[in-house]
């Protein structure tokens, strides 16, 4: 994407679009607003792909933080009664309509894997992550709501996200072993 390859954006959208959209629907509770935010996220990712720094985290984490920020901006603008302007007209190389059933099946599998990983966390880590990512609270707000030190909240979220990442990577590793040797996935 940093080199302007639209196919790279299409592949990124195919992989991460459903995840970003699911988060947006859950936090915004409005399908149309979630669609708008998802589009805004991928326009921003396209424009800022050259700024991505792999030493600061995975591309997925980078995109999810952009998504979370956009969603929180939308929630705050609702509260203030203002309307945000979209960051772009449209995304190139969006999936074709006939591909959607397959995408939905993959999305459901991914969502189930994330739900399972989240459910496997200790209660305090799961609660902090849900408040941050699904309810849109800041670390300070979570600290105040739970009556727990800010550093503790940050640690719970960081440890929980690391455990989720490890669990999902383990599942992906198992899925890769299901692919017959000598065959490549597209």
Interior angle at CA 11, CA 169 and CA 177, nearest 5: 35
Tell me if 126 sits within 8 A of 153, measured CB to CB: no
- What are the pLDDT tens digits along the chain (186 aa)? 888 888 888 888 888 888 888 888 888 888 888 899 999 999 999 988 888 888 887 888 888 889 888 888 888 877 766 554 454 443 334 444 444 444 445 555 666 777 788 889 999 999 998 888 777 778 888 999 999 999 999 999 999 888 888 887 777 666 544 444 444 444
Distance, in Å, from the CA atom of 38 to the CA atom of 18, rounded to the nearest integer, reads 9
Distance, in Å, from the CA atom of 67 to the CA atom of 48, rounded to the nearest integer, reads 13
Neighbour count for residue 44 (Cβ, 10 Å)? 17
For the chain, list the domains and their CATH numbers: 1-86 (1.10.1740.10), 95-179 (1.10.10.10)
Sorted by sequence, the CB contacts under 8 Å of residue 123 that are 6+ apart come out as none
Could you tell me where the beta strands, DSSP code E, fall in the chain?
A: none
Please report the pLDDT score of residue 100 as a whole number.
Answer: 45
């Amino acid at each position: 994407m940093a080199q302007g390859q639209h196919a790279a954006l299409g592949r990124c959208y195919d992989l991460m679009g459903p995840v970003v959209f699911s988060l947006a629907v859950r936090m915004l509770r409005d399908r149309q607003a979630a669609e708008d935010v998802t589009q805004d996220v991928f326009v921003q990712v396209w424009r800022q792909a050259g700024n991505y720094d792999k030493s600061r985290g995975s591309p997925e984490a980078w995109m999810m933080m952009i998504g979370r920020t956009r969603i929180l901006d939308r929630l705050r603008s609702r509260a203030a009664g203002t309307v945000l302007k979209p960051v772009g007209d449209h995304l190139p190389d969006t999936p074709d309509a006939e591909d959607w059933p397959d995408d939905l099946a993959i999305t459901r599998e991914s969502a189930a894997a994330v739900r399972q990983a989240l459910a496997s966390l200790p209660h305090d880590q799961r609660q902090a992550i849900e408040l941050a990512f699904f309810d849109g609270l800041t670390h300070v707000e979570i600290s105040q709501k739970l009556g727990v030190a800010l550093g503790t909240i940050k640690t719970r979220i960081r440890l929980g996200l690391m455990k989720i990442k490890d669990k999902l990577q383990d599942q992906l590793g198992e899925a890769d072993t299901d692919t017959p040797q000598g065959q490549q996935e597209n």
